[in-house]
Amino acid sequence: MAKVSFQNTIANYKLLYDAQESLFPYTIFRMENNTPFSVLGNITTTTIGIIEEDGATIEYMGTHFGPLCKGFYFSIPGVFEFYGKAILLERTGYNGNLSMGHVHAKNPVSLDSLFSETSLILPRIAGTPTLNYITLTKGQIVELPQSSYIYVSSGEIQLRSPQHHTLLSPQDIHFIHGTELATIEVQSELGKCFLIQAF
């Protein structure tokens, strides 16, 4: 039976990256409207999400989660319903664990903190998705792993690589290619970002 996915049935999304033909197939989308929708998958599909606005809700296997505020993250295997705005990574061929939380509950940060990186979703085995949360203060420079996505949650962050020299603002997302050597430097007093890896 063919896999049915939310990108085939829902119109309020924006495709950001399509790697379904790769060794570790996945897609990344942004849900742009506060419109109810269903994500239809199977047991080999897991979705990792980052909530972009307050008021999101999730229905999963008869359980209601929410309202969820900006900064919540989740990992959900299989089928679920969602209302709200979010960045979503849908990984095919991976049956992950149910996980949900808020970054501030795991990562209380002040300007006295020089650098922190918190693992939110850990890889079950090699080649499976991960989600980390990074906090930096002004002027700090950090090298990013290849084949990853940086999603800015707050602050102004300068991305530098041989291919790019880009200022990223909140809700910007950027892909670091497998051959790209990239660093980020915080331009504001404090910068916070998610680091997403599909494999």
* pLDDT tens digit sequence for 69-105: 999 999 999 999 888 899 999 999 998 999 999 987 5
Q: CA torsion sign, 30 to 32 to 34 to 35? A: negative
pLDDT at 39: 64
Give me 55's structure tokens.
């008021």
Q: Which pLDDT value is given to residue 4?
A: 38
Token pair listed for 105: 């509950």
Whether the pLDDT of residue 115 is over 90: the answer is no
Least confident of 6-15, 154-163, 165-174: 6-15
92 touches 45 (CB < 8 A): yes
In the predicted structure, residue 110 carries a pLDDT above the cut 90: no
Tell me the pTM: 0.85
With a cut of 90, say whether residue 171 has pLDDT above it: yes
As beta bridge partners, residue 159 has 166, 184
Q: Which helix (H) or strand (E) holds 7?
A: helix 6-9
**Distance of alpha carbon 147 from alpha carbon 150, whole angstroms:** 10
pLDDT-based confidence at 58, cuts 50/70/90? very high
* Model pLDDT, residue 116: 80
For 19-42, write each residue's pLDDT tens digit: 988 889 999 989 876 666 666 566
